[in-house]
Structure 1
Amino acid sequence: MKRRHITSAISQTFGKFASKEFPHWFQNIVNRSYVGLMGLDMSEFHSPETYKSLNALFTRHLKEPRHYSLNAADFISPCDSLISECGTLISDYALQIKGMRYKTDEFLGQNFSDEEKKSIHDGDFINFYLSPKDYHRYHIPTNMKVLKAVHIPGKFYPVNVPSLKKRLNLFIENERVVLQCETMEGKTFYMVLVSALNVGVMKVSFEPRIQTDADVVGEQVYEFKDLYLDKGDDFGCFEMGSTIVIISEKGMFEDIVVKAGDKVKFGETVATLK
């Protein structure tokens, strides 16, 4: 039997601790300590003592819905995050971070055809890094159709900026869920959820069969016929911080209005569609 990478063992151990519901007095200490240590802004959420586990705190929901542009051309951020990198692909090369590039053909895995992979060559990309203090849920960035989801097992290396600078092809090595999407105008883009250390679980609400950080061998493919999702819909969460990469076909975006180093929140317009 193939041995799992040490990063998986660490993530599973932390996941068990985070999921455990301790006695209220102790859980309150754990939650408040985490909020203070990481500097969480809880102004849009319930108070820390209301969450029965650390994982419940990680995956907290907003108390009130956020407002975002209803203009169909406005493509919104799917999460609260740092833009670690963004720009235009050179053929199938995208930037992991400045000076470190990787091939999107490898990033998407083995279950997309050469034609499907070529559809995004010379297109655009935006990397959204969620730190441990960020709101961990993710949302739909534009009215769209989901064609396919592919779960690719892998490692759980940290995805913070120092790690991105040190490890070539980190995005390709880490476990990920690749969503093949289509805008209402028929343009193709991929939204990729990338795991990280202590982020064993990436939940996808519209496909509960996807079980990340599990004993899965090989890529798992899920195809959909008429799965339409609306801008702003909550479709899952990371259990801790991680990264979402959006890669679009050439000409899908009129303009990307963010740059590397920007902090964005879910609902903020990050690009405009043609």
Structure 2
Amino acid sequence: MLDRFKIALQHTLPKRWLTQLAGWGAERRGGWLTKLVIDGFVRFYKVDMQEAQRPELTAYRTFNEFFVRPLRDDARPIDTDPLRLVMPADGAVSQSGPIDGDQVFQAKGHHYSLEALLAGNDQMTQIFRDGSFVTTYLAPRDYHRVHMPCNGILREMIYVPGDLFSVNPLTAASIPNLFARNERVICLFDTDFGPMAQILVGATIVGSIETTWAGTVTPPREGVIKRWRYPAADDDGAVVLLKGQEMGRFKLGSTVVNLFSKDNVILGDHLHTRFVTRVGQYMAQGSEAVDYPLPGQSAVQ
């Protein structure tokens, strides 16, 4: 009964208005009030502030500064095996496995199509047909910067407007096509393991989605699909990111969906539903060796 009530609220609450209000409040410098909110959040969600570069709560002038706090340099060691891809985010595996044709598993009884997830982009849909995927859910207590699973060259970014349903496990199990309905930013990379998409999915109260190369992608929420294309590695303006480097962040929590093309990546057997993830941990094995050295860095910046 309680779960049904929670889902009913998802359909009736003014999610966009609540998200705009939360985003506005999270950017305000509220002095003692901001500290009170941050302190209550840390206590309620049991956030481990000892991992942060600045563990003292008084160091954060706004809630968003706290929410996207950087971690200590040694907090998230990056697996440097050149054949391994690593987890992009702290959180928990929602689902993972093979893509059945263009059908991606969401939760028991629910699938969604690549075509819907990728906003009808037929070329990109064909790239990932019969490939594999990993969906990582970031809870409010988690670190909310998103990192690269492997070295990559950004080729395309697409902003897709959409709903702002919550993306927690209950909602994922109850609302069909959730990740293909919500607002999202699709990032397509060339990698040594074939094409990879890293998709940042918005949700209720997610004030903004940002990338390291473009800054804030949303808001504003203008209701139209936007598309950016980027040059190859050797051309001016290329965006090259190394394994373990930050690529984006959420201001309030959400979900990351990774897509891999067929036969290029073998997902780890440990990626069961609710498996707790940390940036830099082993996620998958690539089928080919990289042809350039990995960075010497070993931690999140």
Q: Is the TM value for this pair above 0.5?
A: yes
Q: Does structure 1 conserve the Cα–Cα contact (< 8 Å) formed by 2:51 and 2:71?
A: yes
**2:250 maps to 1:242:** no
Pairing 1:201–2:205 present:
no
Is 1:263 aligned with 2:260?
no
Alignment of 1:74-85 (within 5 A): 74-85=84-95
Q: CA deviation at 1:237?
A: 0.9
Partner SS state of residue 118, structure 1: helix
Out of 226, 233, 239, the residue aligned to residue 227 of structure 1 is 239
Matches of 1:215 and 1:43, distance apart in 2: 35
Q: State the secondary structure of the residue aligned to 2:22.
A: helix
- Tell me the SS of whatever aligns to 1:181: strand
Task: Give the Å deviation of 1:207.
Answer: 1.6
Corresponding residue of 1:175: 183
Contact 1:145 1:184 in 2 (8 A): no
Q: Which residue of 1 aligns with 2:160?
A: 152
- Contact 1:85/1:98 (8 A) holds in 2: no
Cα distance in 1 for residues equivalent to 2:108 and 2:279: 24
Shift of 1:213: 3.2
Q: What CA distance in whole angstroms lies between the structure 2 residues aligned with 1:183 and 1:159?
A: 28
Match of 2:222 in 1: 216
Deviation at 1:74, TM superposition (A): 0.9
Cα offset, 1:26, TM superposition: 2.8
**Corresponding residue number in structure 1 for 2:292:** none
Q: Which amino acid in the other structure matches residue 167 of structure 1?
A: I
Give the corresponding residue for 1:191: 198
Q: 1:102 is paired with a residue of what secondary structure?
A: strand
What displacement does 1:100 show? 1.1
Match for residue 39 of structure 1? 46
Structure 2 residue corresponding to 1:138, chosen from 135, 143, 146: 146
- d(CA) in 2 for partners of 1:164 and 1:59? 24
Deviations 1:56-105 (A, max 9, x none): 11110012242112122111011101101001011000011232110011
2:104 partner SS: strand
Please, which moves more after superposition, 126-135 or 212-221?
212-221
Structure 2 Cα separation of the partners of residues 9 and 252 of structure 1: 42
Quick check: 1:51 aligned with 2:60? yes
- Assess, with a 3 A threshold, how the Cα gap between structure 1 residues 30 and 217 changes in structure 2: closer, same or farther: closer
| In structure 2, C-alpha distance between the alignment counterparts of 1:255 and 1:27, rounded to whole Å | 41
Counterpart amino acid of residue 94 in structure 1: V
User: Deviation string for 1:101-129 (max 9, x for gaps)?
Assistant: 1001110013x3x2331121111010000
Deviation string 1:163-205 (CA, Å, 9 cap, x unpaired) is 11111011111100001112125x1121110001100300011
Q: Secondary structure at the match of 1:168?
A: coil
TM-score (structure 2 length as normaliser): 0.84
User: Which sections of structure 1, spanning at least 5 residues, go unmatched?
Assistant: none
Distance 2:117 2:206 in 1: 19
Confirm whether residue 98 of structure 1 aligns to residue 108 of structure 2.
yes
After TM superposition, which residue ranges in structure 1, 4 or more long, deviate above 3 angstroms?
none
* Letter in structure 1 aligned against 2:104: A
Could you tell which deviates more after superposition, 213-222 or 194-203? Answer: 213-222
The answer to whether the 8 A contact 2:35-2:57 is kept is yes
What CA distance in whole angstroms lies between the structure 2 residues aligned with 1:77 and 1:138? 9
| Secondary structure in 2 matching 1:211 | strand
Question: Could you state the TM-score of these two structures normalised by the residue count of structure 1?
Answer: 0.92
2:24 partner SS: helix
CA contact (8 A) 2:147 2:244 kept: yes
For 1:98 and 1:126, the matched residues in 2 are separated by: 16
CA contact (8 A) 2:241 2:247 kept: no
- Counterpart of 2:48, as a letter, is D
Q: CA deviation at 1:228?
A: 1.5
Q: Percent identity?
A: 26
What 5-or-longer segments of structure 2 have no aligned partner?
Answer: 1-12, 232-237, 288-301
Matched, 1:6 2:17: no
Cα distance between partner residues in 1 of 2:266 and 2:40: 44
Q: Distance in 2 between matches of 1:264 and 1:215?
A: 30
Which residue identity is paired with 1:218? Answer: V
Q: 2:135 aligns with which of 127, 130, 136?
A: 127
